[in-house]
Structure 1
Amino acid sequence: MPHFELGEAIPPDTAHAVSVSLPTWRSNIGYEEGEDWVVSRMQTGYPRFVIHKSIQNFASDIVAKFGTPGHKAFLFPTRRIAVRCLAFVKSLAPPAIAATLDTVHLVLDTSKPSARALVSLSPNISAVICSQEAFPYVKQYWQHTGDGVSSRRAEFCHGLFKDGLLRRDDDLPASIPASPKPCKGPKRYQRTPGVQTPKSTPSPGLSPDRDLETTASAIPDVQESSRFLEERFGRNLDVSFVEPAKSAIKRRIAGALRSNHELTTAPPPEGEMAANTRGVVNLREEDIYLFPSGMSAIFNSHRALLGARGNMKSINFGFPYVDTLKILQKFGPGCAFYGHASEADLDEIERRLESGERFLALFCEFPGNPLLTCPNLRRIRELADRYDFAVVVDETIGTFANINVLPFADIVVSSLTKIFSGDCNVMGGSAVFNPNGRYYSALKQFAHAEFEDTYWPEDVMFMERNSRDFVSRIDRINANAEAICHVFRASPLIKTLFYPKYNESRANYEACKVANGGYGGLISVVFHDRRQAIAFYDAIDTAKGPSLGTNFTLTSPYVLLAHYQELDWAKQFGVDPDLIRISVGLEETEHIVAVFKEALKVAEQSVEGNGDGNGAKTIDS
């Protein structure tokens, strides 16, 4: 196992890493407390919580040019998202603080030849500039919605800004369109008629509605633009493959893509989508939407349901990932929260429905994070059909290689950042609309009017490459997770093991498990003695930091990181403050089993003839 220093990026030497090393229990607490000995050493962090340095640098330059000294800027990919951020802050912040907000919209200066090829990339940036007092409110929007710019987008657009190719919209000449229409995707892949681009040369991104005479006259500009893209992206991105990459990702999510060979710009085979593993033969590629993060998929699914069905409360069923609950509470009329996901909770919901109460949707995870509890989707679907509410299922933990939840849901969401990617170097999310759902037509109508494709092309290409071996990786991870479970089950130190195969809700998991599926790569454990939990975490020879679903085993005192300010609240739902969560990776099984046995041995030795078990000295030492 590689050794990770405090604050080092995970994976190391990765410019756009998604995790960061917090190698001791104390360092996790130091991070939550904002202690300088931790925070000052952090090279990066989980992108929705710790703003990437490339984004910070670009934001600082925008403030320096357009803002007020001492102010900060948050960067978003479109004007509409920035406007939604403003509305959110104004709904929460005191008027005097909200009045400090300003926006700057940066767009391409297409009067310059080298910028013309970039129109299809839509490299626009909208900055919300705020005072220090308004910063926490804007940060909430950034964190909860996942709609901020990615670090790769910021890096690329910052270069354009420095070169004078990205300019404030009201500074452009009147003859220059301020907001070029973004490429909408397949027509099939928006290829320019009559123009053949060699595979090795980045596509110039010409607008498909330009006639051939105009195109021919623009060849010198095209050559200049191609050179510009080559210099900017290098070998990371041939833009002629962006739309095929999106198509491949969507078909992978549908369980329809049978081949993982190199991409081509040729249309995918006819009928491929019909033979998918979701069990929905009329599922189309256009029913799958890609987002820059998993939370963006959840947030925009909630927006779509509010737009399609009206302003009603939702239900958050089961102990949730932190920002899902925040979205349902803060955006719209609020939600009813049932943190146990039990049959008794469903009984109570049914009583409320029978009394005439109505809800927008029920949101749940399958399994839940971190307790791996599985709600009864069959019963939830029956209630939804009877009482007219939508069902949104987050399948991130289970993954569609192990489970099939689409027949029970109106929308299935997932964080592609996790095991779908595996490499821990790119963010992404997806939402699948069930074409047989009651609200499908209304959702599609909303999406047609409101959906903005903000998934940055370079992120798309990394996600497509990373996910090619997704299914084969799942098999190995399933096997490793079960082997580690056997180690924990044999240990007298473990008070509770959380894993779908051994939880009380196993029958609910089995009802959705696919024929060759397993039980996933996430495990949570609680020790009898807190000191043993701390000793185990400090000793375990794995990567240690936030996130999950990585190709390498990643260990985290999850509750400390996700719920540090609300530990007592979490505890009432069975979520122990000292719970340790393990995201299992692809290591050789014998080796990873030995790693866990050794850490348990250290944990056992840590309390022999020592103290009263409160663990206070261990934390402070």
Structure 2
Amino acid sequence: MAAPIQTEWFGPIPPAPRHSITFHMPLWSNILQFIEKDPEFFKQFKSMYPRIMPHKDVKELIAKLLATTKSEGQSCIPFSSPESATECVKFATSPARQENAVSPDQISIRIFDVPDVVRLYVVFLPAEKHKVAWPFWINAGVGVSSRLAEDCVKADGWKEVKVDEGVLEVVEVEAQSVLRGRIAGLIERAPVGPPRKAKVSPDDVYLFQTGMASIYSVHQYILSVYNAKSVLFGWAFHSTPHVLEDFGPGFKFLGNGTPEEIDELEEYLKEEAKEGRKIQALYLEFPSNPNLGTPDIGRIRKLADIHGFLLIIDDTIGSFCNVDVLGVADIVLTSLTKSFSGYADVMAASAVLNPSSTRYHELKGLFKKFYTNQFYNRDAEALEKNSRDYMARSVILNNNSLRLVEFLQGMAEDPNSSVAKVFYPTTLPSLPFYKERMRPATADFTPGYGCLFTVELETIEATVAFYDNLNLHKGPHLGAPLTLVIPFVKGIYGKELERLGKYGMNERQIRVAPGLEDIDVLIEEFGIAVKAADEVKKNTFVPLT
């Protein structure tokens, strides 16, 4: 049995460096407060996922910008590219914001050179309108990082400039090219399927500052040519549908990712073709988060070839080392923030173009035209160092996850247990589709099923008892050194639960991201939590009907 968790409530998860991206929220009652978005509650947080709420260094940068410009009654949002700032303004002033839209004369972009660091493009607007523009930061994910903000605050010699005052030169550090080479190597390691026409080179790997930045940016590039609807197939991280809805003509959502929904997709594509339309791209996660379903991407690839849409696959949950989706994808997106980084202290993502795709040259041209590297050098250095032991850590993450799933699945098969169901590639009907894309075992690595699963309890009372009695860290994120547990559905969709029922999600589900701890200790801790839930089940009075 592990010692009781000593981490400060609402503080960063150990080892708790300055740039931690997650936090500890230990009780179910905290989740209920989180859902209500009470500002007084959020004032208690010492750490937060920095794409949702600004990191303390970003807050300091914002404060410095407002003080430097003597902008009383104003707020501001800093970006490292003019395109991002411009899109933020468009978002805030869009008629889609309805009565909350910011008037164009209330919002502006000002430019600041921070010597040897960055050129900042800063959106200024009235403080009371900040909440209208902030969802752009949350969902597009293109805001400045905490390390970049830290360096800006420390720098001297700031200068406000005009748009046409030349270019601020910032040279890429070696870590950026090392990362591109490392990712290209991982993509091509132990490939699945027949030989490929061409191999991924480092020049086919593009780095972004967050996972959502990669999705948003790729979507924007494609929109610039086609401006057509997309499809989101299977459940996806909550910001993805916001991006597809807020930018462009919208999307069709097929949220279960089942073979039956591929049938529905096929009919939809035929109907669109009859009307002279086609979708520009289909996005999916492999597997999905948080219900771990795996779609039949081979069949979807055939539809992509027939109907001419791009197939864009996010392999974050499966992870480079375990699965190879390049054989069917035109673009592979990966949140490097998760298990690739592994230490919960840097945000990053990659987009990899498939050089064997028939659309490769078209995509290469789009990236050449639109891509600018906004991944900050110091973040690149942190990520390069973190990812050196990615494969070694993945062995443990895979094993710990599988062992815990087997332990809890055994309980789910016991009618007396409060455990109702376990969601993991190995427990779901979609397992064959996952196995089709598993990399073959090599002398140095045997692939697994990833470091995320969801456990469902029979009742909400049992769920609360399980969560409150689980002596592990409670917070968002996955792929960290320490196990992280969170009622993901309740916390993210707490006020939309009725809508989620048809997608197999409910408030009795707890998402688990096993870490690197001793597996016997983890199993013991989960056993204690299940016992507490079982006691609640045993003592709950159920009236006869």
Q: TM-score normalised to the size of structure 1?
A: 0.80
Residues 119 and 168 in structure 2, CA contact (< 8 A), matched pair in contact too: no
Kindly state the Cα deviation for residue 153 of structure 1 after the two structures are TM-superposed.
0.2
The aligned residue for residue 158 of structure 2 is 166
Does residue 259 of structure 2 align to residue 343 of structure 1?
yes
Deviation at 1:36, TM superposition (A): 5.6
Paired residue for 2:399, among 475, 479, 504? Answer: 479
Change (3 A) 1:549 1:363: same
**What is the match of residue 375 of structure 2?**
455
Q: Considering only aligned residues, what root-mean-square deviation do their CA atoms show, in Å?
A: 2.0
Paired with 1:252 and 1:277, the residues of 2 have a C-alpha distance of 15
Question: Which residue does the alignment assign to 2:492?
Answer: 562
SS at match of 1:480: helix
Deviation at 1:438, TM superposition (A): 2.5
Distance 1:69 1:338 in 2: 46
Identify the residue that residue 439 of structure 2 maps to in structure 1: 514
- Within 5 Å, give how 1:81-480 maps onto structure 2: 81-91=84-94, 92-93=96-97, 94=99, 97-108=103-114, 115=115, 118=116, 122-160=117-155, 163=156, 165-170=157-162, 177-183=165-171, 242-243=173-174, 245-256=175-186, 277=191, 280=196, 281-307=198-224, 309-355=225-271, 356=273, 357-480=277-400
Cα distance in 2 for residues equivalent to 1:68 and 1:36 = 23
**Structure 1: which 5+ residue stretches go unaligned?**
109-114, 186-241, 257-272, 614-621
Question: Structure 1 residues 409 and 96, CA, compared in 2 at 3 Å: closer, same or farther?
Answer: closer
Q: CA contact under 8 A between 2:93 and 2:102: conserved in structure 1?
A: no
**What is the percent sequence identity of the aligned residues?**
30
**Structure 2 counterpart of 1:588, one-letter code:** D
Q: Which amino acid aligns with 1:341?
A: G
Deviation at 1:68, TM superposition (A): 3.4
Instruction: Tell me the CA shift for residue 34 of structure 1.
Output: 2.6
The structural deviation recorded for 1:431 is 0.4
Instruction: Name the SS for the 2:538 alignment partner.
Output: coil
Q: Distance in 1 between matches of 2:539 and 2:495?
A: 33
CA contact (8 A) 2:206 2:350 kept: yes
| 1:191 corresponding residue in structure 2 | none
Q: Sort the Cα spacing of 1:315 and 1:441 in 2 relative to 1 into closer, same or farther, 3 A.
A: same
- 2:472–2:484 Cα contact (<8 Å) kept: yes
What's the CA shift string for 1:257-312, capped at 9, x where partnerless? xxxxxxxxxxxxxxxx97774764421111000001111111111122223x4111
Residues 337, 419 of structure 1: CA spacing in aligned structure 2 closer, same or farther, 3 A cutoff?
same
1:96 Cα deviation (Å)? 5.3
> Could you list the per-position Cα deviations for residues 50-106 of structure 1 after superposition, in whole angstroms to 9, with x for gaps in the alignment?
111111111122123325322211111122211121122222345654432122211
Cα deviation, residue 542, structure 1: 1.1
Check 1:36–1:387 CA distance in 2 against 1; reply closer, same or farther (3 A cut): closer
| Cα distance in 1, alignment partners of residues 522 and 408 from structure 2 | 13
Tell me the residue number matched to 1:51. Answer: 54
Conservation of the 8 A alpha-carbon contact between 2:315 and 2:325: yes
1:255 is paired with a residue of what secondary structure? helix
Asked whether the equivalents of residues 11 and 424 of structure 1 are also in contact (C-alpha less than 8 Å), the reply is: no
Query: TM-score w.r.t. structure 2 length?
Result: 0.91
How many residues were matched structurally?
520
* Matched residue SS, 2:283: strand
User: Aligned letter for 1:540?
Assistant: L
Q: Which of the pair has more CA radius of gyration? A: 1
Say if 1:291 and 1:455, in contact at 8 Å, map to a contact too.
Answer: yes
Indicate if the aligned counterparts of 1:72 and 1:129 stay in contact, CA closer than 8 A: yes
Deviations, residues 407-426 of structure 1 (Å, cap 9, x unaligned): 11011101111010110011
3-state SS in 2 of match to 1:540: coil
Instruction: Indicate the residue corresponding to 1:212 in structure 2.
Output: none
